[in-house]
Structure 1
C-alpha cells in the first residue's frame, strides 16, 4: 500500500506541475498554422527530450548531490520554493516566467526550447524529479521514471488532440483547471519545504 501511495503521490505531483491541459493550450498556440503531421512529430520529439531530461536527473540525482555537496533537505526546501512560486502564479492566472515561451522560435528548435525546456521540464519539474527519486532503494527512482513516462504519454495524446480538446473545454474551463493545478502545486511546494525544513532541523540536533 505504501508503494501504491507513493506512485499516486508522484503521478499527481508531476501531473500538477506539468499541467497537460494548460500546456496543450500553450502547444497549440506555439504551433499555430503548423500541419497536423508536423505537429504530431513535434509533440513526440519534445516529450522524448523532456523524458530524457527527467530520467537523467532521476538517475544521477544522488551523484549530483555528492558532487556539488547538495543535501536532500536543501533540495526539498529549494524545490518547494520553486514549485510554490509556479503554483502561486498559476493560481492567480499568470504565466510563470519559468514556463515562458517565445513564438519566434524556429520550428526545428521548438521541440527543445521552449517546449521541452523550460515549459515541460522546467526547474520545478527537475527539482521534483530529483526529490522523488532521492529516497532509499531503487523503487523511488523507478516510480519516478515510470510515472513520468506515463504522464508524457498522456501529454502526447493531449498535444495530438489539442485543437479538439481546446474547442470542447473552452477558455474559461481551461483557466479554472489551471488555477486548480496552481493550488495543488502550491500545496505540494509547501509540503516539500516543510519536509526539507524538518529534515534540516533534525540534522542539526545533537
Structure 2
C-alpha cells in the first residue's frame, strides 16, 4: 500500500511538472484572446479530452509500441530522460520549449487540437513521462497512471476555465516563478530517468 502511495505521488508530481497547468494557462489565454466565453469553454473541453485520449493510448499500447519498433527499456529511459531534461532546462532559462512553440498559429484553425492538445498538453515530454511510469508497471499501477493523468486533465480544464481571473489576481511574475520551479522538477525527473536507464543497462539495480 505504501509503495502504491509513493508511486502515485511520484506520478502526480511528474505529470504536474510536465503538463504545468499554471504555465500553460498563459498559452491558453493568448491563443483564445478575443473569443467569447462559450467558444473558450468548447476549446478548453475539447483540447483536454483529446490530450487525455492520446496519452491513455500511449499508456495502454506503449508495451506493444516498444515491441513493434524493438525499443529497449534502457534506451527509452535514457533518450526520454535527455528529452525531458532539455525541456526542463529551457524552462529554467525562461525560454519557451520548442516542443510547445505557438508561433505563427492561425486562430481560425482548430486550436483545440493543435497546438493546445498537441503538443502543449500531450506533447513528447508528457507522452515520454507517461510511458516511463508504465514501462515495468503492474496493472494496478497502469490504472493509477491513467487515473492520475485524468485528474490532471480535469485540473488543467478548471485552470483554463478560470484563466482570466487567475492571471489578473496572481500576476505574470508569480506565474513565471512557478514555471521555473516546474522546469527544475522536470530536469530532475529527466536526470533520474537517465540514471535508471544506465543502471538497467549495466545491471546495477538490486
TM-score by length of 2: 0.95
Establish whether residue 68 from structure 1 lines up as the match of residue 49 from structure 2. no
Which residue of structure 1 aligns with residue 21 of structure 2?
A: 20
Q: CA deviation at 1:197?
A: 1.1
Distance in 2, matches of 1:42 and 1:73, equals: 38
Conservation of the 8 A alpha-carbon contact between 1:134 and 1:140:
no
Structure 1 outlier segments of 4+, above 6 Å: none
Establish whether residue 135 from structure 1 lines up as the match of residue 167 from structure 2. no
Equivalence map 1:22-41=2 (5 Å):
22-41=23-42
Which residue of structure 1 aligns with residue 149 of structure 2?
A: 148
Distance in 2, matches of 1:138 and 1:196, equals: 22
3-state SS, counterpart of residue 14 of structure 2? helix
Distance in 1, matches of 2:64 and 2:181, equals: 35
Equivalence map 1:104-143=2 (5 Å):
104-143=105-144
Higher deviation after alignment, 72-81 or 18-27: 72-81
Q: CA deviation at 1:130?
A: 0.7
**Number of residue pairs matched by the alignment:** 203
Establish whether residue 198 from structure 1 lines up as the match of residue 199 from structure 2. yes
Q: CA deviation at 1:119?
A: 0.7
Distance in 2, matches of 1:134 and 1:121, equals: 18
Higher deviation after alignment, 11-20 or 106-115: 106-115
Which residue of structure 2 aligns with residue 90 of structure 1?
A: 91
Instruction: Please list the CA deviations of residues 20-39 of structure 1 after superposition, one character each: whole Å capped at 9, or x if unmatched.
Output: 00000010000000111110
3-state SS, counterpart of residue 202 of structure 2? helix
Q: CA deviation at 1:112?
A: 0.8
Distance in 2, matches of 1:167 and 1:10, equals: 30
Conservation of the 8 A alpha-carbon contact between 1:30 and 1:103:
no
Conservation of the 8 A alpha-carbon contact between 2:31 and 2:107:
no
Distance in 2, matches of 1:191 and 1:199, equals: 12
Establish whether residue 44 from structure 1 lines up as the match of residue 45 from structure 2. yes
3-state SS, counterpart of residue 112 of structure 1? helix
Which residue of structure 2 aligns with residue 79 of structure 1?
A: 80
Unaligned regions of 5+ residues in structure 1, if any? none
Q: CA deviation at 1:133?
A: 1.4
Instruction: Please list the CA deviations of residues 165-200 of structure 1 after superposition, one character each: whole Å capped at 9, or x if unmatched.
Output: 111110110110000000000001100110011111
3-state SS, counterpart of residue 171 of structure 2? helix
Distance in 2, matches of 1:112 and 1:80, equals: 26
Q: CA deviation at 1:8?
A: 0.6
Higher deviation after alignment, 127-136 or 47-56: 127-136
